Structure 1
Amino acid sequence: MSKIMPMRGFLTSSIGVTCAAMLAFPLPLPTVTAVAATAETTAAGGTRSLPLVPLSQERGLGAPPGLGLYRASGERFSLLGVVWDDPGTELHGRVQVRTRSAAERTWSGWQDVETQGAGHGPDPGTAERTARRVRGATAPLWVGASDGVDVRVRAESAATARSRTAAGPRGPLPSGLRVELVDPGGDGTPPPGAPADPPRTGQDTDAQRTASAANSDLTGFGALEIPELDRQATGQELARLQGPVQGQPYIGPRPRIVTRRGWGADESLREPGFGYTRNVKAVFLHHTGSGNQYTCAQAPSVIRGIYRYHVTSMGWRDIGYNFLVDKCGTVYEGRAGGVAKAVLGAHTLGFNGDSTGIAVIGTYETTKPPGAVVTALARLTAWKLGLYGGDPSGRTYLTSGGGNLYPQGKNVRLNVISGHRDGFATECPGALLYAGLGRARSRAARYQGR
């Protein structure tokens, strides 16, 4: 059960995640390419939306019929993705892009964009899912400061479709395909000593004030970060939030968390109010699928780009994840509503209720996550689960809201710390990040004193 309401000072939570995996299909027809544009921009960033249409061949380049190519010029963006009309439709095919560096004016090589986007998002039947503006989408791809793009999308071949074991026919490419070029705002370089690089947008708005106030039970109003605590101080804080507990509570020391204000969230983008679920019984871990070509100083810019992509391009009420972790192990607040509360996310389709979602920024199918990432995941889950009495090394039951692994209403037994693929048939959070979950579970349990 979930609901949307103004911020309240009680503990509650949920999950929201975005994941995807690379596909390596042959390149048959049809192909689509961007040819026209609409734009939404502000001083703090913006989104350029380019509709995709079929082309028989690329003029002047000697490309074979069916290939499509678009070259934008003078567009400023750092993150991109492809969206389409129906969020319930999957894109069975291959999306490739190349971009031009804004600094060097040189073109990158072709890159694959992860297309397995159906496994994340609001649960079926929820108000957020049934909103008329919600769209299907690929994972976002971080490309750095760019001013030109080529994009091509091809349906999978009939032979590839027949070789799949999943039931059901494979249709053509989804309708309404668009490439989204996202400018996150800012330059990705924080000033010395600052935890993030928020663009300066003038006076606080009501949305900014309420987002900050959601964490007033943990830190001062307008804080750029929530400081870490040792285990004793965390236990004292738990008693203050929930009342006296018997004996030493099983809770890990609170990690340092960069707030939404700290990473520069434009609070005017999201829907007003906050959504909560009843409990936090489980954590789902994800990767963003956005690639690893970012510096840790750029992580706030990457998050702002993902946030804008989730809200402006995909039509969600806010960023999907409850928390994000960069490759240096820094933890960031995700969806607004309070980091200690049970905020309803949009990360694991069918299991957003009674859970929380954590996404590691990057792609970890063939790249091993740094040790700092595993440490950060262990510390964050030990603290967050401890607020709700969860054992990181245990198992629990969640009721499916509907997905491709479990039908709606099925009671499913899962690890308290699970990967996205445990609740939905996807490659997220990547093979090598998933392989490290056992280590994260055992370390989180030790942080809790178990």
Structure 2
Amino acid sequence: MRVSFASSIAATCAAVLVLPASPAAPAAASVFPTAAALPPAPDLPGATQSLPLVPLGTATRAPGGARAGEQGLTRRDVRPFSLVGVVWDDPTVPLHGTVQVRTRATGDGAWSDWQDVETHNEDHGADPDSAEGSARALRGSTAPLWVGDSDGVEIRVRGAELLPAGLRLELVDPGEDPADGPEAAAPRIRGAVAPAAAGATGANDRLAPYGQAWIPALSKEETEITFRTTPGQEAVQSAAAQPYIGPRPKIITRKGWGADERIRETGFVYTKTIKTAFVHHSATGNNYTCSQAPSVLRSIYRYHVKSSGWRDIGYNFAVDKCGNIYEGRAGGVAKPVRGAHTLGFNNDSTGIAVLGTFTSTNPPAAVLTAVARLTAWKLGLHGVNPKGTAYLVSGGGNLYKKGTKVRFNTIAGHRDGFATECPGGRLYDKLGTARTSSANYQGRS
């Protein structure tokens, strides 16, 4: 079992304890195929098992003459994991069909019902003309699904058209939670610090002590003082008579949620400014506790980097269902880090992912409060009114051709820039409330 966070829903920590993954169940104890042929799990905080899918049943003719069929894996034992997804070779080829999985819990050995995996994930990712968007390592991918501690899996992929080549099941183990609790007064530095970890932590050096697991909240007055004395804010200050900026919320850092800085690409990529905040849902399901949110984040991070081929986690920020805010892509929470969250509109924007699925489930009030507080601060750093609008230029997508100038609300939903259900109808319908609250936090009437 993984080390859980303290009972506080806002639990964070200051150092990472690396433990090996638990061994798979002995082959003799199961009637299902085992993972014995897989290479041993690496001694890292997290691991990914990648299993090629095979044909199931008999292929049939689909409308239009293309061959459709079913691929998957029958029930089998695998090493422990908590998140699943499916990837394929060509990121430009969509998966038209359904993906369903069922998993076996490590605690009681019970198998879940079939669960749907969201197949439309091509709306996330880096812009096509960016270095990240044209990387050779990119793969097509479904959204990831959080299933909790599991050691058995079965999957079926049914296509209405020809299935993409190279379908693989990705099983992600998020690794152990960071060891130190949120009450640790000072970071514990154990030996030499890896350059990537030092870089990610140092990007927030003006906001919190080195190695801190969270960036502390500030009052509005304290935030305005910090804003006035921060280099690089002169242009924003001259554009407004007063700094309309909300109080800085508490933000759990990458150190706090246990990001393994060794797996991402080194360095950071920035855009010019932030004009719009795009709100997403992670589509990973709602079956997690808030103490598990760091594990969910580590899983998404590993899936984005190791399975999908992105340089880092795609989102700039994440919010769990208890309203805790997390640093996403590395580079500094106060800086205009370019993410890979809204394909075609990653320039001059920031991406906020609410952990969960809100197609038919209402987001908790704590989520809307967190989104409002975060945007009041983040947009305020760039002189942006949360109730206003801004223009962004499309980098290419299925709603707007490359080069199209598009007007967005400054707090927009993912579906505003791409034909997708994200962030789910129930969350999207609440964005008006978030805009009003965010403007109020900034001190706007």
TM interval, short-chain normalised: 0.7 to 0.9
Q: Does 1:173 align with 2:163?
A: yes
Residues 269, 45 of structure 1: alpha-carbon distance in 2 compared, 3 angstrom cutoff = same
- Runs of 4 or more, structure 1, over 4 Å off, are 33-40, 65-68, 200-203, 243-247
The amino acid across from 1:350 in the alignment is G
Q: 1:313 aligns to what?
A: 307
Q: Does 1:221 pair with 2:210?
A: yes
1:196-220 Cα offsets, whole Å, 9 max, x none, are xx9x997521111110000012111
User: Residue type of the partner of 2:335?
Assistant: K
CA distance in structure 2 between the aligned counterparts of 1:201 and 1:39, rounded to whole angstroms: 27
Aligned equivalent of 2:49: 48
How many Å apart are 1:193 and its aligned residue? 3.8
* SS of equivalent residue, structure 1 residue 275: coil
Indicate if the aligned counterparts of 1:378 and 1:441 stay in contact, CA closer than 8 A. yes
Measured in 2, the distance between the counterparts of 1:175 and 1:256 equals 44
Distance in structure 2 (CA, Å) of the matches to 1:194 and 1:144: 27
Q: CA RMSD in A?
A: 2.3
Deviates more, 1:386-395 or 1:39-48: 39-48
Distance in 2 (alpha carbons) for counterparts of 1:221 and 1:68: 46
* Deviation per residue, 1:161-203 (Å, 9 max, x gap): xxxxxxxxxx411111101000000159x765459xx9x9975
Larger relative contact order (C-alpha < 8 A, sep ≥ 6)?
Answer: 1
Aligned to 1:6: none
Q: Distance in 1 between matches of 2:183 and 2:278?
A: 29
SS in 2 for 1:268: coil
Q: Distance in 2 between matches of 1:364 and 1:426?
A: 13
Shift of 1:126: 1.0
Contact kept in structure 1, 2:119 and 2:141, CA below 8 Å: yes
Counterpart in 1 of 2:176?
186
Q: In structure 1, what is the equivalent of residue 109 of structure 2?
A: 105
In the alignment, which residue of structure 1 is the partner of 2:80?
76
Instruction: Give, as a single letter, the amino acid of the residue that structure 1 aligns with 2:42.
Output: T
Q: Which residue of 2 aligns with 1:86?
A: 90
Distance in 2 (alpha carbons) for counterparts of 1:147 and 1:201: 32
Does 2:225 match 1:236? yes
Supply the AA of the counterpart residue of 1:338.
G
Aligned counterpart, 1:358: 352
2:403 and 2:287 mapped to 1: Cα distance?
40
Give the alignment of 1:121-160 within 5 angstroms. 121-156=125-160
Give the counterpart letter for 2:202 in structure 1.
A
**Retained in 1: the 8 A contact 2:203–2:331?**
yes
Is 1:286 equivalent to 2:280 in the alignment?
yes
Conserved 8 A contact 1:275-1:343? yes
Q: Deviations over 1:44-70 (max 9, x none)?
A: 11000001121337xxxxxxx957542
* One-letter amino acid of the counterpart of residue 139, structure 2: R
Q: Which residue of 1 aligns with 2:414?
A: 420
Deviation at 1:39, TM superposition (A): 7.1
SS of aligned partner of 1:71: strand
Q: How many residues align?
A: 394
Instruction: Specify the SS of the correspondent of 1:347.
Output: coil
Distance in structure 2 (CA, Å) of the matches to 1:316 and 1:309: 9
- Rounded to whole Å, the distance in 2 between the matches of 1:204 and 1:101 is 36
- 1:394 maps to 2:388: yes
Find the residue that maps to 1:81 and give its secondary structure. strand
Partner residue of 1:162? none
d(CA) in 2 for partners of 1:68, 1:182: 17
TM-score, length of structure 2 as denominator length:
0.84
Greater shift, 235-244 or 340-349, is seen at 235-244
> Is residue 252–residue 447 contact of structure 1 (8 Å, CA) maintained in 2?
yes
How far apart, CA to CA, are the structure 1 residues paired with 2:396 and 2:46? Answer: 35
TM-score normalized by structure 1? 0.84
CA distance in 2, matches of 1:377, 1:424: 21
Instruction: Verify the 8 A CA contact 1:38 1:48 in the aligned structure 2.
Output: no
Gap change, CA 1:68 and 1:444, over 3 Å in 2: closer
Structure 2 equivalent of residue 329 of structure 1:
323
Unaligned runs of 5+ in 2: 1-32, 59-68
Change beyond 3 A, Cα 1:343–1:257: same
Asked if 2 retains the 8 angstrom alpha-carbon contact of 1:39 and 1:48, the reply is no
8 Å CA contact retained: 1:224, 1:261: yes
Change (3 A) 1:66 1:248: closer
Task: Tell me how far apart the structure 1 counterparts of residues 39 and 89 of structure 2 sit (CA, whole Å).
Answer: 16
1:41 match: secondary structure: coil
Distance 1:240 1:183, change over 3 A: same
- Alpha-carbon offset, residue 102 of structure 1: 0.8
Instruction: Give 3-state SS (helix, strand or coil) of 1:329's partner.
Output: coil
1:409 maps to which residue?
A: 403
1:42 maps to amino acid: D
